[in-house]
Structure 1
Amino acid sequence: MTTNATAPVAARPVAGIIRAEVEDFLFLEAALIDDWRLEEWVELFTLDCTYEVPATDAPAADPGLTWSLIHDRRTMLEQRIIRLKKPEAHAEFPHSQTSRIIGNVRITDRLDESLLVQANFIVSRMKAGKFDTYVGRHYYELVPAPEHFLIRHKKSVLAHDRLDPQGKISFVL
């Protein structure tokens, strides 16, 4: 996995960015994950990124003080992708087939060099003859870059009171 993503200087002022540009980027991210192009997906993140999926019973809890389903910095995110792609990753081999719907995209704040964005999601997953649906909301901090955006922070909050049947997520939300 390459780590050529750098903490970018804004390609243009965040004030000029419109929601449709953000939506296109989120649709690109969803397509990369659904197509299992995970090496390309991880390149959408800055080197100082965090990616988290909090526990379903404590979505607002500080991940440094409580348990999370996922709380990765860039290096751990890259390692997660390497593990998911190996045949030894029994929970994801063969890989799940997923289809994502991203909607209700909103730019909630414009910071000096980044945007705060929220988007609802529905992920349909088919694995071993079983069909599961995951719903929730993504929270992003996006940094404008020359080609698109880079993700400095992504938090995926599930709108579930529990995870069935095994209580874990073995694929990328």
Structure 2
Amino acid sequence: MNDPRDFIAHEAALLDERRFDDWLALFTDDGHYWVPLLGAAQADPLSHNSLAYEDRLLLQLRVDRLKNPRAHSQHPASHSQHVLQPSRIEEESGDEVRLRTPFLYVEARGESQILLSGTARHHLVRSPSTPSGWTIRQKRIDLLDAARALPAIQLFI
């Protein structure tokens, strides 16, 4: 999977299939998952609050919680569906690429559903030692109207 656009679709499929360990393995050791509170207007995760700003350790803790059979928030289990528009390469430099992917995200748990939309921005690093050929240095989720009151999101957008 040399094309980074195929990698983005693969990553979303792992989440929708609840293959959280495989998804986490896509991140570099210094990788981050970021959901800015101000959406695209927020320049960095440290100058303002974020909905989520998690390194590998925090991501691992979330994955462990989701897999724990005693996790109250997962009775019944949450499921997701990512509907992606085609990814667009915004910048390519050496072994790194930045992509932009508009999406719709549906998360269902029991009788309730959440629908969110926004843009995923991936900073990928070429990694010949991984099956996909890429790893995620940062995944940023710019939600449409991120500053509004949002329901509890259990999974990863």
> In 1, Cα distance between the equivalents of 2:49 and 2:75?
26
Aligned residue identity for 2:156: V
Equivalences, count:
152
Query: Is 2:35 the counterpart of 1:53?
Result: yes
**Max radius of gyration: which structure?**
1
Instruction: Return 5+ residue gaps in structure 2 as ranges.
Output: none
Aligned residue among 134, 138, 157 for 2:142: 157
Secondary structure of 1:26's match? Answer: helix
The TM-score, its normalising length taken from structure 2, stands at 0.87
Alignment correspondent of 2:52? 70
Q: Contact 2:125–2:136 at 8 Å: present in 1 too?
A: yes
Measured in 2, the distance between the counterparts of 1:93 and 1:76 equals 22
Tell me, in whole angstroms, the C-alpha distance in 2 between the residues paired with 1:26 and 1:112. Answer: 19
Opposite residue 118 of structure 2, the aligned amino acid is G
**Shift >3 Å, 4+ stretches:** 56-59
Q: C-alpha displacement at 1:26, in angstroms?
A: 1.0
Q: 2:72 aligns with which of 82, 90, 113?
A: 90
Q: Residue 170 in 1 paired to residue 132 in 2?
A: no
Greater share of strand? 2
Compared CA separation, residues 82 and 142, structure 1 to 2 (3 A) = same
How many angstroms does 1:57 deviate by?
A: 6.5
CA contact (8 A) 2:42 2:48 kept: no
C-alpha change, 1:89 and 1:55, in structure 2 (3 Å) is farther
> What are the ranges of 5 or more consecutive residues in structure 1 without an aligned counterpart?
1-16
CA contact (8 A) 1:26 1:102 kept: no
Distance 1:58 1:100, change over 3 A: closer
8 Å CA contact 2:80–2:155 kept in 1: the answer is no
Work out the percentage of aligned pairs sharing the same amino acid: 30
The answer (yes or no) to whether the contact 1:121–1:135 under 8 Å persists in 2 is yes
Distance 2:93 2:115 in 1: 34
Check the 8 A contact 2:39/2:142 in 1, yes or no. Answer: no
Question: 2: distance between equivalents of 1:65 and 1:90?
Answer: 33
Counterpart code for 1:159 = L
1:61: how far off? Answer: 4.5
Q: Does 1:39 align with 2:21?
A: yes
Q: Pick from 119, 124, 137: which aligns with 2:106?
A: 124
Give the Å deviation of 1:59.
4.7
What one-letter code is carried by the residue in structure 2 that aligns with 1:49? G
| C-alpha deviation, 1:112, in angstroms | 2.6
The CA deviation at 1:96 is: 1.1
